[in-house]
Amino acid sequence: MKILIAGFQHETNTFVERKALYQNFVNGETFPALRRGQQVLGFRNVNLPIGGFISEIEPDGHTLVPVLWAGAGPSAHVMHDTYEKIAGEIVEAAGMHVPDAVYLDLHGAMVAEQTNDGEGELLARLRSVIGPRVPIVASLDLHANVTERMLACADALVAYRTYPHVDMATTGARAARLLRALLGGERWHCAWRRLPFLIPLNAMCTLVDPAKSAFEKVEQREKAGLASMSFTLGFPAADFPECGPMVWAYGTHRNPVEAAVGQIFDGIALSEADWAVDFLTPEDAVTQAMQLSDGKNRPVVIADTQDNPGAGGESNTTGMLRALIAQGASSAAFGVVHDAEAAIAAQQTGIGRSLEIELGGESGLPNGARFRGVFEVVELSDGKCVFDGPMLNGMQVQLGLTALLKIHEIFVIVSSERPPQMMDRNLYRVAGIEPENMRVLVNKSSVHFRADFDAIACATLVAKAPGAMRADPRDLPWKDLRPGLRIAPLGAPFSARIDEPV
């Protein structure tokens, strides 16, 4: 068989300002850089869904037709022309090659300027070109906002089951097995149900309950006779009617599939209160961290969750730095702060010398002003490193000019290029910090950091410092959710404003 394969990933935060340009996908940012044609096969054995798909399907002897793989860091909408260029290339290739099957490595929470449902639109265009009988299978992120159009246009969708996402390649392999069954003639009934409340990102970690138990039950139900079952927790920063969590499954017979989906749905709905999150103020988080780390030989990790560049933040706020100084923190490290001017100034100043700068600061945010202070330049780097933690192991990262600055007893990592979220300890080491030796680590991340940092942390705290990625969905100015959806666990139901069209 001839199988067309491609990837197009973007997680869209419709409440932030910076939009995704074509160059963002070319660079890759938090993803590998854009690849085309045979270059895509180089993802074989890489912890990405398309890597797992390739490794699983290649031994079957099919001909793989790789088109492209493109991913960009989370931001606001994908620009109109950018979406058309990438989606158009995939659809054009499908028309040219006339494949027997299609596999797509998607995110599931893409919003473009011309459509709220980036993945559903792409799948619909593909379906119109290849016809109703050619199977389409796609893998999705655990944070996908799954739409009815996506389910209708694909023969099977399968999602990650871990956050941090350590099972990306595993999910791609599961997609390959589903496609193998479809190519063998199997056809399934699909059942789905949408949860009635939004879930905060920080409640989604599958290392702990309630998410841990929920996904264990999903696996159990799948093994009890379904072809596939998925539960996506949604990305709670996309303002459109189909934002939110979804449970769906595939199986040969309608009644067992619908019963299984209903059982998972009911279990999650009954535990709604367990999905709520209590956030700490920056000051309380630092105070608790210093207390918890006293006498320990392992650091406390604080998530600076609202400036997570992996969810639309710009990685440049300084609220947590202010709190560290105000609370007298010592042996603390904070990163990564994106500030090209500061990184360049540090390089020009040189190691061992001091400079007075204004650091970071995101316009338009309360208390988001730039931080002015005198810093010592401790270390300088070219910012090149390779991840060796569980997330994206082996991925090469380029932070640009990088500096380790010190103020009081606090170390700050500053980069000239927009960094990925602090998901790998090598992002500290590239600037000269051994994270295991610190008392407090403040990571610009929400959950992904736990994949590599839980092994060294004596405790993990979540701080709600100023930032673009509102950790609590109740803090967002929603306009276009579906009426009745609760905007947080046990929260108030959304209703359109009187002056807004429903």
Report pLDDT digits (tens) over 155-193.
Answer: 999 999 999 999 999 999 999 999 999 999 999 999 999
Residues 221 and 316 in one domain: no
Mean pLDDT (whole number) for 22-46: 94
Residues 502 and 456 in one domain: no
Q: Last residue of a domain, which of 139, 159, 187?
A: 187
Please state the separation of Cα 346 from the chain's center in Å: 31
CATH for 163: 3.40.50.2300
Alpha carbon separation from 38 to 22, 66, 169, 212 (Å, rounded): 21, 6, 19, 38
- The DSSP call for residue 115 is B
Residues 465 and 480 in one domain: no
- The DSSP call for residue 87 is H
Q: Last residue of a domain, which of 167, 187, 207?
A: 187
Residues 464 and 480 in one domain: no
Report d(CA 94, CA 68) in Å as an integer: 12
Mean of per-residue pLDDT scores for the chain: 95
Per-residue model confidence (pLDDT) at position 119? 98
63: part of which helix (H) or strand (E)? strand 63-71
- In the block, which residue shows the tokens 């959710």? 481
Residues 68 and 175 in one domain: yes
Task: Give the model's confidence band at 366: pLDDT under 50 very low, under 70 low, under 90 confident, else very high.
Answer: low
- In the block, which residue shows the tokens 């920080």? 202
Q: Last residue of a domain, which of 162, 187, 212?
A: 187
Bin 165: left if φ > 0, else alpha if -120 < ψ < 50, else beta: beta
Total number of domains constituting the chain: 3
Per-residue model confidence (pLDDT) at position 365? 57
Is the pLDDT at 370 greater than 90? The verdict is no
118-130 vs 80-97: helix crossing angle, rounded to 10: 30
Is the pLDDT at 369 greater than 90? The verdict is no
- In the block, which residue shows the tokens 């006498």? 295
Residues 175 and 53 in one domain: yes
Q: What is the pTM of this model?
A: 0.92
Mean pLDDT (whole number) for 363-388: 85
Q: Do residues 122 and 104 lie in contact, with contact meaning Cβ atoms separated by under 8 Å?
A: yes
Residues 166 and 249 in one domain: no
Q: Could you tell me the residue range of the domain that residue 370 belongs to?
A: 282-471
Residues 9 and 138 in one domain: yes
Residues 109 and 219 in one domain: no
Report d(CA 156, CA 288) in Å as an integer: 46
Residues 210 and 318 in one domain: no
Q: Do residues 124 and 89 lie in contact, with contact meaning Cβ atoms separated by under 8 Å?
A: no
Query: What percent of the chain is predicted at pLDDT more than 70?
Result: 97
Residues 205 and 348 in one domain: no
217-231, 254-268, 486-500: least confident range:
486-500
Peptide bond into 420 cis (omega under 30): no
Taking every pair of Cα atoms in the chain, the longest distance, rounded to a whole number of angstroms, is 71
Residues 61 and 180 in one domain: yes
Report pLDDT digits (tens) over 96-131.
Answer: 999 999 999 999 999 999 999 999 999 999 999 999
Cross-strand pairs, 3:
64, 101
